[in-house]
Amino acid sequence: MNARADFPLIAASKGVYLDNAATAQKPRCVIEAESRYYETLNANVHRGVHSLSRLATEAQEAARRTVAQFLHAPSEQEIIFTSGCTEGINLIAQSLTHSGLVRAGEEILVSTDSHHSNIVPWQMLCERTGARLRPIPLREDLSFDTEAYLSMLSEHTRLVAVPATSNALGLHLPVREIISAAKQAGALTLVDAAQSIAHEQPDVRALGCDFLAFSGHKIYAPTGTGILWGRAELLEQLPPWKGGGEMISEVTFARTTYNHLPFKYEAGTPNIAGNIVLAEALRYVQSLGLPAIAAHEAALTHRLYDGLAAIPGIRILGGRENRGALISINVPGVHHYDLGTLLDQMGIAVRTGHHCCQPLMQHLGITGTTRYSLALYNTEDDIDRALTATTQALHMLR
């Protein structure tokens, strides 16, 4: 796969960009679609009788259909435009808080390697409802502990929320197994697809989950875009979180009735340009094919893993297999910040720190890691340069 030329920033850069888990670079078609929207289509949606407003509305609703197809969602009414994965998870947590469906003493289970976005919203829900947040342990090899999880499930479990792929470790979680066991226990399920969306074909029907959230910017779309998918009957049942324009059917000073799906959850003027451009990014990814992207990235990830494993003193977090396009390392005696800074001076962009996974870092007894994360435009040369630079930087630091 050679897609570097599609990405102006990558094509112009002499450096190596390996911080794709934080945000991915944008292809030219996405950048151009954003300008095209403002040059030819800009108008507020849904409220206008004039032609431009109708065209903008049609373009946004066509984008919703593209997202529904991408996720294999049964209906586009189940596609809620959000500002990102964080907002999607908060939407469900807040709606559940106000739904009366979560009662004191009930439990919310999250994996230990969850991002703060899949911890804090549930803690907030627990504070208000008296429910209890319980972390699902990891095994010694840092994989998801399925046996421990199964033993935690009970009639008290209200919701299970896990990432499909951990953003700090890069390991996949057995989401299908997790979801089917949760369903048998009568619990709701939410999949945080932030790190899987750009690498693995999503299929909400096959997954069988109740909710799935992701951010556009990790799949080559602009920041400030995202999707929450939810099962229609649940979205119908839950109360809206934000109030304002567009989410209403009728407002009087006495009371308000709410709009039908998906608009009930989309208060205020949406990120119209962003939503339309998100669909462009999904089309771009589909034109290359997610299986081809995944195969390309898996080969590079293995090359990186084997190269890092051969450098003395490096501890790679988690095993070689069952992993996404991401590797985190810890080097005892070397601060991740120093390593990241030196790598940057050598032209290699990686991320260092806790990766918004402080509870995981506490579990590991470390303050942070150095994380290399890949995208479809990375090459063998990128990996080899990152490995050479890492060897040199560690030589200087030790």
- Quick one: 259 or 301, whose CB is closer to ligand PMP? 301
What residue has token string 């988690």?
318
For residues 236 and 261, the answer to whether their CB atoms sit within 8 Å is: yes
- Quick one: 110 or 394, whose CB is closer to ligand PMP? 110
Minimum distance from CB of 181 to ligand PMP (Å)? 21
Which range binds ligand PMP by CB under 6 A, 78-86, 279-287, 341-349, 377-385?
78-86
How many degrees, rounded to 5, is the angle at CA 329 between CA 328 and CA 333? 150
| CB neighbour class for 256 (10 Å; exposed up to 12, middle 13-18, buried from 19) | middle
Contact pattern from residue 191 through residue 210 relative to ligand PMP, giving x for each residue in contact according to CB under 6 A and a dash for the rest: -x-xx---------------
Minimum distance from CB of 335 to ligand PMP (Å)? 22
- CA 200 – CA 2 distance, rounded (Å): 19
| Phi and psi at residue 318, to the nearest 5° | 90, 165
Which range binds ligand PMP by CB under 6 A, 115-123, 243-251, 305-313, 383-391?
115-123
What type of residue sits at position 154?
S
Minimum distance from CB of 198 to ligand PMP (Å)? 11
Q: In a 3-state reduction of DSSP, which class is residue 214?
A: strand
HSE-CB at 291 with a 13 A cutoff on CA atoms is 0
Is residue 356 flagged as an active site residue? yes
SS3 content of the chain, % helix, strand, coil (to 5): 45, 15, 40
Contact pattern from residue 346 through residue 375 relative to ligand PMP, giving x for each residue in contact according to CB under 6 A and a dash for the rest: ----------x-------------------
Told to check if 115 binds ligand PMP by CB under 6 A, we report yes
Q: Dig out the tokens for 197 from the structure.
A: 């969306």
Which range binds ligand PMP by CB under 6 A, 33-41, 54-62, 111-119, 336-344?
111-119
Q: Dig out the tokens for 231 from the structure.
A: 């099962």
What residue has token string 């579990």?
363
Told to check if 66 binds ligand PMP by CB under 6 A, we report no
User: Cα dihedral angle (330, 336, 339, 342), rounded to 10 degrees?
Assistant: 160
Told to check if 167 binds ligand PMP by CB under 6 A, we report yes
Alpha-carbon distances of 223 from 24, 68, 82, 394, rounded to whole Å: 10, 20, 11, 34
- CA 143 – CA 275 distance, rounded (Å): 35
Minimum distance from CB of 118 to ligand PMP (Å)? 6
Told to check if 86 binds ligand PMP by CB under 6 A, we report yes
Contact pattern from residue 254 through residue 293 relative to ligand PMP, giving x for each residue in contact according to CB under 6 A and a dash for the rest: ----------------------------------------
Told to check if 84 binds ligand PMP by CB under 6 A, we report yes
136 forms beta bridges with 111
HSE-CB at 163 with a 13 A cutoff on CA atoms is 30
What type of residue sits at position 286?
Q
> Which residue from 3, 45, 85, 181 is in contact with ligand PMP, where contact means CB under 6 A?
85
- CA 372 – CA 169 distance, rounded (Å): 10
- Quick one: 197 or 279, whose CB is closer to ligand PMP? 197
- Quick one: 195 or 370, whose CB is closer to ligand PMP? 195
Which range binds ligand PMP by CB under 6 A, 25-33, 50-58, 188-196, 291-299?
188-196
- CA 10 – CA 165 distance, rounded (Å): 25
- Select which of 29, 85, 126, 356 is catalytic: 356
Contact pattern from residue 213 through residue 252 relative to ligand PMP, giving x for each residue in contact according to CB under 6 A and a dash for the rest: --x-------------------------------------
Which chain residues interact with ligand PMP by CB under 6 A? Answer: 84-86, 115, 117-118, 163, 167, 192, 194-195, 215, 356
Q: What amino acid positions are annotated as catalytic residues?
A: 356
